[in-house]
Structure 1
């Protein structure tokens, strides 16, 4: 008797896509997928989204952290608080995208998905 492995393959594919969406560390396998120029269209799309989202978060995080280190105590507290809110938002966004992925819904973010696609076209990824 033969098992139907289509459900197993589908779950494995969703698990792999979920790894790309992991906060803070998911960009590494996503970047590797983009670098190799292999994978399905969905893997390429989610990889671009993950790398773009992580780089945007990291850029703003570093700018706020540097700004907090260079200003008065009054402004430092506000900038670090904003930095914490930004990081919390980034993590919740990644988790929300993972939930949408497992529900079978579209894994896109307005603006960021578009920007990732445009950058990929310019870089020929």
Structure 2
């Protein structure tokens, strides 16, 4: 692969900021809202927003389920902690891939993020 396909160091640091769990959602959203950025920024912003949104939806649903259902609450709270740990580990893994200069994609999930958010955002 040519060096031009990999982001430069300042751009790579910005892309790392997008992958910070929970916090990276906001600069990602801002990048897509402004419609200014590189192809890599748009792709990673979509992935970051989809990851954070999926985590938040699952977190809220399991939290509400633990409070309202007769299903043992402890099981849902444990699943909730696994979901949160998984979100943080996937974000760290994606950061590691970015630092190594590899493609920052999740099989299936990246395509889903592109399909969902490209209809509404650039």
Q: Same fold (TM over 0.5)?
A: yes
Structure 2 equivalent of residue 77 of structure 1: 74
Candidates 90, 93, 100, aligned match of 1:103: 100
Q: How well do the aligned residues superpose, as a CA RMSD in angstroms?
A: 1.3
Structure 2 residue runs of 5 or longer lacking an equivalent are 1-6
C-alpha offsets along residues 13-60 of structure 1, whole Å, 9 cap, x if unaligned? 111000000001101000000001110000000000000010000001
* Counterpart pick for 1:116 among 113, 116, 120: 113
* Gaps in structure 1 of 5+ consecutive residues: 1-8
Q: Residue 91 in 1 paired to residue 88 in 2?
A: yes
- TM superposition score normalised by structure 1: 0.88
Name which one, 1 or 2, has greater alpha-carbon Rg.
1
Q: Distance in 2 between matches of 1:120 and 1:70?
A: 32
CA contact (8 A) 2:62 2:80 kept: yes
